[in-house]
Structure 1
Amino acid sequence: MHLVAGDKKGGFYRPRTGYGDSRGACGVLLETYRWSELPSGAAARTLSLLFLLPFMLCNAAAWMRPKARISGAIVWIGCRLLGLSLTALYVLSFVGVALDLLAYKCMSRSGCLSGRTWLSWLVGQPVGLRVALLALVPVAAIWALWLAGSRCGHWYGTFIPPPDQATDTALGAIGTRHASSGVDQLRTIHMAAGLAVLDLSLLAPSWSAVGHGVLDILLVVGTLTIVVGCVLLLCLPRGVDDPTGAAAVGAVAGALLAASAGVTAVVLGLAAFGRTGWPAAAGLPGYAEAVVVVFVAQGALLALVGIAALVGRDRQPGRQTTISGLGAPLFAGLAVGLAVCFATEFNYRVSDYLDRDMPTPDMLPTSPVLPYKWTMFGFFVSILGALVTGAVVVLISHRQRRREADSIVAWDFPSVDEQTARRRDMVRDAIARAQFTERISTLAMTYLCVAILSLGFTALALVELQPAVAAQDLAHLPTDFVSAGTQFGSYLMALLFVGLLIGGLFAYQTLAFRRYIGMLWDLGMFWPRVAQPFAPPCYAERAVPELARRVTLLVEQGHRVLIAAHSHGSVLAVASILQLESHVLPRIALVTHGSPLRRFYSTLFPAYAGADVLHEVGNRIGWRWLNLWRDTDPIGGWIFTLNGSHDGASRRPSTVDRRLRDPQDLDARGHDTVWPPVRGHRPCVTDDRYVDAVCDLADRLRAG
């Protein structure tokens, strides 16, 4: 293959002449679009994106809002406020390590400083000076966020952006400035809020140690005003999203950031040189309360998003999964859960490092604040609840899934012998496993409900109530069980982090990881940054318009273009078709296989990839569209029809879906040396039925 357009990050390739037949089925000229370097790239970049995973999930949750106007607006604003809380929690985690654990707790213990020359040089310095110097750690963390959010990811360097033009569908706006007009303003707002959180953390000790002078009052009121201003800007219905008001919103956001930076400079200066009465307390004053406020606010916002999504859920007749319309609270809950895990583990791992060679680290002054212990126990309960629910769902649905799979294999393979009967049972089990995708949302809903309750119960830390004592008093649970669960929750958090690290390292490097973990990564990075500006850059901002422009160029050169897309590539293809101009559409056809358009995108993103959008795509290309799907595929599936049934909207969509029997046969005797494989989510390009579909569409294009 050689590159004919684009670059190595996103390029178009054709077979080299002289290396066999350069044409495909029915003589069509082959050209492939390779875009995998946009969301993944080198292993180091993939690992760096791993730490932005909570931001990515929260940003994707905003795009999962329901179609209903009021409910959709509430979900949109709720996800944006959740994104702001993730930024606040990110800053607080570094404040906990630098100021609470190091500046206050570790500095008060000679054993903690033993052998640590990089820290012991601060011994003997005033508490305020220690705080001011170590406060540069969260400042650097905030600056790292700024670099991550402002780096060139919008057009990926060499890509020439298309002209600014409006489209009549929201999905077709991906890659245009209409989809993410306020990302710069959003980043400025989050930076202002992050500095404000640091300022409040620095003001809390002086506020509790000395009298409230005029300057103290002015600094606190000014910082709280900045926080309120950031929240109000995110709550405006058409503030950050409205291109016409971008200048005004940008000016206000810039003023908030400048004011927040000014307050930070003043507070750091007063801490280092102007204060002598800072308390030498056992921990950073007010830090535990700040963590509880963030956790409780996140729990309340998750409940608000969940109620709004449930009320605005689309209840149109037809086969729907239990996750339909509820993607926003589920993904937002996963984002908050991961962020809480990262913050908790970060503080506890640093605490373990500081408490080296000590027999009882939980009782030492360098232990993290009590709210983090509550989150460890809450995480243990959430995982336990999800596992129990999963086991129940598997047992309850097993008989129904097995019955449906039996009917499918009986239709596909009506006659079997003793040698193929075992193979038929394996195919039935593969179909039954693939059908579990529609039922996995019950596990996620259980986790979400328990996580919301766990975040709310962290408020008990304000009265210095330990999880073991509270569980015994409120639920009469054994204290040993709760203590063991809390410790086990910490191990689960560490295991989760290691698992994500391995998954991020091998994603797009190994086929198995690319098929399943890459699916989630592609789904999250496909959407522009509208709720969290520090999420990984949206690769679709280049891939979608680049594919549309290449198709347009080929058509203008006199070609007829048949777009063949597998898995997530079908989402890129659909979004690109929505950007094509009217004179290009009559020469376009589409074949999709292993497509998640109905199974995931229509259910998770009803306002952007619902059935109406998919019908619009079919109408635009004159229903020159074939979708190939298998019952053994846990990701892809049918789009308009199920098993050839009519969807009730139009007779044309009933000709789109073509079910492929998988495997093609049970018995390979006389044809091969091994049993025919179960293909599942693998591409269909080696299947003769794929060739038939390509030839069918090619004939339609030639006839048209």
Structure 2
Amino acid sequence: MGPEDVVELRVHGVSGTPPEAMLGDPFPTPVAGDDVARFLRAGKPVRALSNGRPRTVEAFHWGRFTSGGASRALWLVLIPFAILNLARYALLGASRFAEAVLRLLGLVLTGMLVAATAYASLELLVRQCAGTATCRAERLGFFDGWPFGAMLLVGLVPPGLVITVLWWFGRQTFLYEPKGTHHVWETRTGSLGDYAFWHTSPRTPVLRDAHVAAACAVVGVLYAGALRTEQPDRPADALSWAVVGLGAVVLGWAVGCVVMSPDRREVNSRALKWASVVYLLLAVGAATASLWRVPVEASGSVTPLAGFEVVTNTLSASAMLLLVVLLGACVRLRRSARGVELMVADKRFRPLWHGYAAVVIAAVATTLAVGFSGGLAYRVVDWVGDPVPDAGRPGLVLSTSYLVGAGLWGVLAIAFPLLVAPVVAAMVRQVSSALVFAAGSVAAAAAVALRWTPAPGWAFWAAVVLAGLLYAIGTVSCTRHAIGVAVREGVVADYPGRPDRPGVGKVALTQRLASAKYRYHWLLGAVALLGGVLVAAGGGLALARLAHPGRRDAPPPGLADWLSTVPARELGALGSLVVSGVVLVLLLLGVRTWQNPRMRTVVGIVWDLVAFWPRLAHPICPPPYGGRATIELTSRAVRLAGHHGVGAVVLSGHSQGSVVCVAALSLLRRESERPDPADGERYIRQADAVAALRRVGLVTYGSQLQWAYSRLFPHYLGHAELARLHDDLGDRWWNVHRLTDPLGGPVQVWPETAEERLSADPKLWGVRCGNDVRLRDPEFLDPDPDVVASPLRGHSDYYDDPVFDEVVARVADAVARPRTSVVIGDLSLSGGS
């Protein structure tokens, strides 16, 4: 290759597009990388740009990071942890307090999962079912003749497996060992251009060990509570309190590590991990030896083990309180100088949910975690018997925190579907239809409420009929006014001719539906609002019980009576069914991922979105690929520009790939500013980074950088960061989008400029505004008997549009101009082509 050559380096998006489709070649040639991060080159002759310069097309395929096997797909069941980790990057700026709150909340969610598993195995199966002759004979016959202590050992298996899985999953990573000596963050929050930010190995193992230790402490404390079970000749309470005290020490140690989030060099977290394992074994051994001969021939109900109610209520109340504290921390961040700066930015880049995105995301994660833990306990009870709130009723006693949580999820299962229709109608700007749907939802909610009241039957059916009528009217209204006058006029302007010819309505409808992407956050906000209210309700009730000395072990009579009513039982059953269905779907999806490559792509989309960022709020989430992908792409660009002498390297990023490209350029820019250390050991030498930065351009398409990422992660990808990159690259960065794309949109819309045509052919053209190019979709509307019809492409196949080649040519020309200037801070670097 020589100075006149152009290499377009394509980076796919969340769908994990195969390199064969990216390159238009069924047999591409691998040129660099390994099994999970591959660079491939088209084997057929080099494509030429419109200006006649040769172009080589390479593909960077990173899809195997997130869609390699069933074990990665099974991460779906732990999705609350991944969502919580995402909340850390939605903060408006640097706040050690807010980050510590998020890490503590993550610790509580881990405790919820482990406590629910231990509750199901120890309390429900071992104590209440296996400890009762009738239930044991019907469900757990293999326990016949076993001493109670042996049953307790078997009960350790499920929580022990969960703890082992958490530890093992938290160890998985795609990163190499950091190169060079620069491994300290440049800022408190890190940045996309900070090489050390992508290597969080000194911090993440501390969090992982702390979570494992906290999980061991929770299970050990529950076994210590079992020592207080009422029985003849039970051990003195001193033994139980001693075990609880040791567990509190281990838990306090873990909490300290989580709050401080130290590096491994400062805290010996491995000592904490192994100390917690030893503590768990001591607690299990003490409980097993002391309770070995507890009678298990009871014919009726048995007294629940001590401690479970207090632990579950403590976790529920802690989650609620931490969400409230996080809200307060976000209020402080919003009023800080950085928060004010972000909030007064251009409205197109203003942070989502008025700067409270971290709270919204954390609320969604907590809602899912509460539902998953409660659903597990409720399903186990439903399998072996009937759930009741206290020991005075026939059935198996289920902790009121799980009963209340299941009931609240039942409310969520009813409320959320009723909100979907009006919210979606509002998202596509059908205001009148949204109002009609909202009235129908109110009528449907009234029908649900009337079902549990002594009201006459005709009132219930009247509400049902009214709700159905209103929904029918709303549906007809949406259908008749689905397009909109302004949208249709825009389509006619793009495709001059008769406004009523075939195809205009379809294109206009697609554009209007795609415009809903600017309001996707409304639906997630509705989930967060409902979930946050329900978490607050359950946590408030748990806190009230903990504060009242007489209600810590048994529910108050009024609450117990209400939980035994028909509405409460039906809501609990509905909530547990919904949660169980969600978990079952996730598990089946994980199994199908192993068998079906297409399903593997669907799972990969989920993980591509949540696994980009390092694990800093919760260590038990999918192995982050962002650092490895960014470093690999940067290294390849430097290799092409420096060692192969390529005149122009055009990074071409689609969808999520555009974020990887921006991160790579940010990293390259920062490496060009940093002088070489005395020992010469570093990731990229400064001279190589400077030389590469002169020869690199960027094309993004189908990108969410403006409408989603800059608003969801304003501190890392906000308007200021994009504007800085725009100033550095100038005409070497162009963005391409379509109005029919439900995910991608404009990125560089500042400053406003007059629109002009960018043509690849008299009939094939796009509209340029600044460095943003809007492609027509389809490319042409009127049929031509000698030309293949142009399909609606939406978010896909940007490479197939002839205007796309023209955009790449413009970027390549901007890179290869006789004089190229790169502005880095106060330093201007100039050089020949």
TM beyond 0.5: yes
Alpha-carbon offset, residue 148 of structure 1: 1.4
Q: Which moved more, 1:161-170 or 1:31-40?
A: 161-170
Give matches, 1:23-172, under 5 Å.
Answer: 26-42=53-69, 44-67=70-93, 69=94, 72-114=95-137, 119-121=142-144, 123-125=145-147, 127-151=148-172, 153-155=173-175, 161-165=178-182, 170-172=191-193
| Structure 2 equivalent of residue 649 of structure 1 | none
C-alpha distance after superposition, 1:189-226 (max 9, x if no partner): 11111111011111112246457554433322222132
Q: Are positions 1:298 and 2:319 aligned together?
A: yes
Aligned residues: 664
2 CA distance for matches of 1:310 and 1:516? 36
Give the conservation status (yes or no) of the 8 Å contact 2:105–2:322: yes
| Inter-CA distance 342–572: structure 2 relative to 1 (3 Å threshold) | same
User: Could you say if the C-alpha distance between residues 118 and 248 of structure 1 is closer, same or farther in structure 2, counting changes exceeding 3 Å?
Assistant: farther
Cα 1:566–1:119 change in 2 (3 A) is same
Aligned to 1:286: 307
Structure 1 residues 395 and 533: CA distance shift in structure 2, 3 A: closer
Kept after mapping to 2: 8 A contact 1:84/1:190: yes
1:664 aligned residue = 779
Aligned-residue offset at 1:519? 4.2
1:502-529 Cα shifts (integer Å, max 9, x gaps): 5556679989878876444212111111
Aligned position for 2:659 = 571
Does residue 226 (structure 1) correspond to residue 250 (structure 2)? The answer is yes
SS of the equivalent of 2:781 reads coil
In structure 2, the residue matched to 1:457 is 537
Offset, 1:84 = 0.4
Contact 1:555 1:584 in 2 (8 A): yes
What does residue 618 of structure 1 align with? 726
Q: Look up the SS of the partner of 1:294 in the other structure.
A: helix
2: distance between equivalents of 1:695 and 1:273? 77
Q: Which residue matches 1:631?
A: 739
Partner Cα separation in structure 2 for residue 668 and residue 227 of structure 1? 71
Q: Is the 8 A contact 1:626 1:656 kept in 2?
A: yes
Paired AA for residue 165 in structure 1: H
> Measured at CA, do residues 215 and 507 of structure 1 come closer, stay the same or move farther in structure 2, by a change above 3 Å?
closer
Q: Partners of 1:642 and 1:465 in 2: how far apart?
A: 63
- Asked if 1:195 is matched to 2:195, the reply is no
The answer as to 2:30 corresponding to 1:14 is no
**Structure 2 partner of 1:475:** none
- Greater displacement, 49-58 / 544-553: 49-58
CA spacing shift, 1:662–1:471, aligned 2, 3 Å: farther
2:276 aligns to what? 260
Contact 2:98/2:330 (<8 A) preserved: yes
Q: 101-110 vs 258-267, which deviates more? A: 258-267
- Asked if structure 2 preserves the Cα contact closer than 8 Å seen for 1:566 and 1:683, the reply is no
* 2:343–2:355 Cα contact (<8 Å) kept: no
Structure 1 residues 432 and 22: CA distance shift in structure 2, 3 A: closer
Compute the displacement of 1:386 (Å).
3.2
Q: In the alignment, what sits opposite 2:421?
A: 391
Q: Measure how far apart 1:603 and its partner are.
A: 1.1
After superposition, the C-alpha distances for 1:454-500 in whole angstroms (9 at most, x for unaligned) are: 2333364752578896599xxxxxx6555433322222223322443
C-alpha change, 1:144 and 1:406, in structure 2 (3 Å) is same
| One-letter amino acid matched to 2:152 | V
- TM-score when scaled to structure 2? 0.73
Of 205, 217, 233, 1:184 maps to 205
Residue type of the partner of 2:288?
A: A
Query: Aligned partners of 1:425, 1:211: CA distance in 2, in Å?
Result: 79
Partner Cα separation in structure 2 for residue 450 and residue 351 of structure 1 = 26
1:622-651 deviations in whole A, cap 9, x for unaligned? 4410000112222111113179559xxxxx
**Counterparts of 2:566 and 2:291 in 1: how far apart (Å)?**
45
Confirm whether residue 592 of structure 1 aligns to residue 674 of structure 2.
Answer: no
Per-residue CA shift, 1:88-139, capped at 9, x if unaligned?
A: 0121121012101121011133343337677414x451x3443244224312
Q: Secondary structure at the match of 2:266?
A: helix
The change in CA–CA distance for 1:458 and 1:570 in structure 2 (over 3 A counts) is same
SS of match in other structure, 2:372: helix
CA RMSD of aligned residues (A): 3.3
1:644–1:22 CA distance, 2 compared to 1 (3 A): same
**Conserved 8 A contact 1:105-1:365:** no
Task: Give 1:271's match in structure 2, choosing from 272, 284, 287.
Answer: 287
Q: What are the residue-to-residue correspondences of 1:439-518 with 2, within 5 Å?
A: 439-458=519-538, 460=541, 463=555, 470=562, 480-501=566-587, 503-504=589-590, 518=604
| Residues in 2 aligned to 1:484 and 1:633: alpha-carbon distance in whole angstroms | 42
| Cα distance change, pair 469–512 in 1 and its aligned pair in 2 (3 A) | farther
1:287 positional shift: 1.2
Show structure 1 runs of 5+ residues with no match.
357-361, 473-478, 647-652
User: Which amino acid in structure 2 is aligned with residue 488 of structure 1?
Assistant: L
Q: CA 1:215/1:469 → structure 2, altered by over 3 Å: closer, same or farther?
A: closer
Q: For 1:268-417, list aligned pairs within 5 A.
A: 268-275=284-291, 281-310=302-331, 312-313=333-334, 314-320=342-348, 322-323=352-353, 325-355=355-385, 365-366=395-396, 368-397=398-427, 398-399=429-430, 402=484, 405-406=487-488, 408-413=490-495, 415-417=497-499
What is the 5 A alignment of 1:201-216? 201-207=222-228, 209=230, 213-216=237-240
Give the letter aligned to residue 487 of structure 1: A
Residues 129, 273 of structure 1: 8 Å contact kept: no
Cα displacement string for residues 127-172 of structure 1 (whole angstroms, at most 9, x for unaligned residues) = 3443244224312321221111123x142xxx57533436866112
Write the letter of the residue equivalent to 2:517.
T
1:417-438: per-residue Cα shift (whole Å, max 9, x none)?
4333xx2222222222222222
The Cα shift of 1:33 comes to: 0.6
Tell me, yes or no, if the aligned pair for 1:172 and 1:578 is still in contact at 8 Å: yes
Cα 1:528–1:514 shift into 2, 3 Å: same
Q: Is the 8 A contact 2:73 2:593 kept in 1?
A: no
Aligned residue among 234, 251, 259 for 1:235: 259
Does the 8 A contact of 2:46 with 2:54 survive in 1? no
Structure 2 contact 649–697 (Cα < 8 Å) conserved: yes
Are residues 605 and 286 of structure 1, via their aligned partners in 2, closer, same or farther at CA, if it must alter by over 3 Å?
same
Q: Does the 8 A contact of 1:323 with 1:438 survive in 2? A: no
Distance 1:509 1:20, change over 3 A: farther
Which stretch of the first structure deviates more once superposed, 170-179 or 142-151? Answer: 170-179
Which amino acid in structure 2 is aligned with residue 9 of structure 1?
A: V
Out of 495-504 and 291-300, give the one that drifted further. Answer: 495-504
Tell me the alpha carbon deviations over residues 586-609 of structure 1, each in whole angstroms, 9 at most, x when there is no partner: 100000100111222111111111
Distance (whole Å) between structure 1 residues aligned to residue 774 and residue 557 of structure 2: 58
The answer to whether the 8 Å contact 1:630/1:661 transfers is yes
Residues 278 and 224 (structure 1), Cα distance of their counterparts in 2 relative to 1, 3 Å cut: farther
For the Cα contact (< 8 Å) 2:74–2:586, is it kept in 1?
no
Contact in 1 for aligned 2:607/2:622 (Cα 8 Å): no
The answer to whether the 8 A contact 2:67-2:601 is kept is no
Q: Do 2:642 and 2:691's aligned partners in 1 also have CA atoms closer than 8 Å?
A: no
The AA in structure 2 aligned to 1:229 is W
- CA–CA separation in structure 2 for the residues paired with 1:309 and 1:404: 39
Work out the CA distance in 1 between the residues paired with 2:356 and 2:594.
29
After TM superposition, give the deviation of residue 691 of structure 1 in Å: 0.8
8 A Cα contact 1:430 1:632, kept in partner: yes
In 1: Cα distance, 2:751 partner to 2:744 partner: 14
Deviation for aligned residue 1:576: 1.0
User: Percent identical across equivalent pairs?
Assistant: 26
